[in-house]
Amino acid sequence: MDAEDWDERYAASELVWSAEPNEFVAAELSDLAPGRALDLAAGEGRNAIWLARRGWQVTAADFSQVALDKGRRLAGDTPVRWVCADATTWHEPAAYDLVLLAYLQLPAAQRRAAVRAAYDSLVVGGTLLLVAHDSSNLTEGTGGPQDPAVLMTPEDVLGDLAGRAYDVQHAERVPRIVGDGHGEEPARTAWDCLVRVVRR
């Protein structure tokens, strides 16, 4: 999907994603001391706004202007810098203590460019957190993109960082329970890819 496709998708509904942060983002980042954060492919900004409300100085970048406009409205008085940019080409060198990539599902070459841009945006000692639909979700999980080309494993993501220096804090697939098991929808397990590294 290009930026125009995403604009259409965002324009078609009130809120495409939740207003709450992703559960892994909240679990991984709650204890991190606030600093400067970049949410790359931020969408409507659920994670960016959550970070900003926890004291982070946040830049939210996405190539969909419609998503960013919705994020700005959602943020209200919460200060977030909204930047319309392509995650595969844009970065601000060594400017951030934290870079977040949440559910940016791109074919391998583009994903690699985005992951490397994310890393290059970090200061030494900064944290890169990537959460995405895992490759195994296609056969073992539920929901998410059905094109295997845009899914990934933790090994793929670490491979994207070949030649860069980092310490791995997490590189694993993690279960995400979808549906609450009440009503007609049974609870199901989606598999996500979670990678957290610190720039050396």
Positions that interact with ligand SAM (CB under 6 A): 6, 17, 22, 41-43, 46-47, 62-64, 67, 86-88, 102-104
Of the pair 102, 193, the CB lying nearest ligand SAM is at 102
Instruction: Give me the residue whose beta carbon is nearest to ligand SAM.
Output: 43
Cβ of residue 152: shortest distance to ligand SAM, in angstroms? 13
Specify the pairing of strand 36-40 against strand 57-62.
parallel
Cβ of residue 49: shortest distance to ligand SAM, in angstroms? 10
Of the pair 41, 122, the CB lying nearest ligand SAM is at 41
Of the pair 46, 176, the CB lying nearest ligand SAM is at 46
Of the pair 76, 181, the CB lying nearest ligand SAM is at 76
Cβ of residue 184: shortest distance to ligand SAM, in angstroms? 26
Of the pair 90, 171, the CB lying nearest ligand SAM is at 90
